[in-house]
Amino acid sequence: MIKSLGLWHTIKAKASILQPIIAILALGGGVLVGAASDRLSEIVSSSASALIDGYSYGAPAIIFVVLAPVLARIFSTRQKGRFGLYVVGWLAVIKLLAMLWAIIFTVAIFGLPIFSEHSVSLWGALVQTIESVLLTLTVSHYFWAIYASIAIGLVALKVKALANTLEKGVSSLEHAGQYFQFLMPAFMFTVGVYVQALPQNLGKQIGLEGTLHSFHTFTILGLHLDPNTPTGMVMTYTMGALAVAVGAFGWHFAILALAKYRETRFSFGGYFKHYWVKAYPLLWSTSSESLATPLNLYILKKHAAWVRPTVRRLVAGTGSVLSTDGTLICVFVLLGLVGRILGIHFSLFELLLAVPVAFLISYGIPGIPGELLLFAGPLAMILPVPPELAAGFLALYLGLQVGLPDSFRTGANTTNNYVYCILLSRVYEERFQGEEPRGEE
């Protein structure tokens, strides 16, 4: 038995070291398979979509398992309750800062003007957005899971056996997180299949063939792009995805630097060795933040042991819903990209007016592939999109978000959330911990 456990840990260690290589090989294998067989490509793509769609129904259960016990502990003392409110407010401020970064980055990379020559309908967009968010708060399974966590957490205050059961559930989930990294090669393979079929996929998604729109040529980072041809559109899509990646990584490295400044126990080397190489490929290949929640919990517990369980579970749990910086960066970068394709030069001022709308919508997104579709309608309404281009704007915005941009914004959301656990752990120790005993609480 002991030898078997030793062999298993050896296999895990070697697999962790080889993960980047395995990810690249799996991606290349997907490209080759997609090129060899259109039928097999369709089967693989549809199977992956079905798996992720199915997981989107299981993710609320994970949110419940994580949040219910930690909320029970938070409700047990006034001090912990204050920390819970602090986390929600802190993540809201971080969202606003991330959007400001995204706007500055988008204006710079696409050469957009500072001031607007158009009027915008801020009130109409806000009303539509508020209605959408209220509906989401009512019907979303993710928010139902949060509501259930609150209710059960309150009951667990009075029922000790229930509290113990909840604690065992989240402990088991954290332990299971170590196995999620082994799903990565399968998902990377399916991304390769998607990328290989990119020209055909884009043609179907945005109606490239026979379109009535004449797209505009433009330059980004010195590269001239002509989206009027299939090859040019693919190049435009690729450059837009890379712009999302650069914007997301720029923000991520900024918060990494802040974490290093605030927490001496945090190291860049340990972060990339023990966490990033294990989590990012999984996130990137699945475009699902919720899928990585158990992995985040497991790695935090093992390699950032100073983070208290209350902090780890509360921030990782709520962050899977509320930490959407990567998504918001993607929202604004794609606005700049689609605007340039259609010849619309959104100004810095207009993008700033879109911040309240995007902020509200960010509380209703489900954390699954393609979630930017919730932003498209309200943003088209608030921004100066000519009526004759509205349909083309929506088609492009919805089509170009799929695949690579989805992967980069998802990878940012959850890896950012990991770093926020480190930052908020320091806040907890300085302002909320008091005289509580250390340990597993």
Q: Does domain 14-431 have CATH number 1.10.3860.10?
A: yes
Q: Output DSSP code: residue 180.
A: G
Mean pLDDT of 234-249: 90
Mean pLDDT of 255-260: 94
Dihedrals φ, ψ of 302, to 5°? -85, -45
Most confident of 14-23, 47-56, 245-254: 245-254
Q: Does pLDDT of 49 surpass 90?
A: no
Q: What is the number of alpha carbons within 13 Å of residue 1 lying toward its C-beta?
A: 0
Q: Are 288 and 168 in contact (CB under 8 A)?
A: no
Paired with 225 in beta bridges are: 218
Rounded Cα distance between 300 and 69, Å, is 17
Rounded Cα distance between 371 and 365, Å, is 6
Mean pLDDT of 342-360: 85
Range scoring the smallest mean pLDDT among 52-56, 125-129, 284-288, 431-435: 52-56
Rounded Cα distance between 98 and 141, Å, is 26
Mean pLDDT of 208-218: 63
**Top-confidence residue, 417 or 53:** 417
Which pair of structure tokens corresponds to residue 279? 């989590």
Quick check: pTM over 0.75? no
Most confident of 97-111, 210-224, 357-371: 97-111
Q: Does pLDDT of 313 surpass 70?
A: yes
**Top-confidence residue, 246 or 345:** 246
**Alpha carbon of 163 to those of 52, 166, 281: distances in Å?**
31, 5, 35
Query: In 330-350, which positions are buried (b, 16+ CB within 10 angstroms) versus exposed (e)?
Result: bbbbbbbbbbbbbebbbbbeb
How far from chain centre, in Å, is Cα 314? 17
Q: Does pLDDT of 266 surpass 70?
A: yes
> What is the predicted pLDDT for the residue at 423?
94
Which pair of structure tokens corresponds to residue 204? 């179907």
In the predicted model, what is the mean pLDDT of the chain?
A: 76
What are the domain boundaries of the chain?
14-431
Residue 364 pLDDT grade (very low, low, confident, very high; cuts 50, 70, 90): low
Residue 157 pLDDT grade (very low, low, confident, very high; cuts 50, 70, 90): confident
Q: Which residue pairs, CB below 8 angstroms and at least 24 apart, start in 113-121?
A: 113/345, 113/347, 113/348, 114/347, 114/348, 114/349, 115/347, 115/348, 115/349, 116/347, 116/349, 116/350, 116/384, 117/347, 118/350, 118/384, 119/384, 120/350, 120/353, 120/382, 120/383, 120/384, 121/381, 121/382
**Top-confidence residue, 33 or 211:** 33
How far from chain centre, in Å, is Cα 170? 22
Rounded Cα distance between 441 and 427, Å, is 18
Quick one: which H or E segment has residue 408?
Answer: helix 404-431
Mean pLDDT of 247-251: 96
Rounded Cα distance between 159 and 153, Å, is 10
Most confident of 10-19, 336-345, 380-389: 336-345
Q: Does pLDDT of 249 surpass 90?
A: yes
Residue 215 pLDDT grade (very low, low, confident, very high; cuts 50, 70, 90): confident
**Alpha carbon of 383 to those of 255, 273, 401: distances in Å?**
30, 43, 18
> What is the predicted pLDDT for the residue at 326?
92
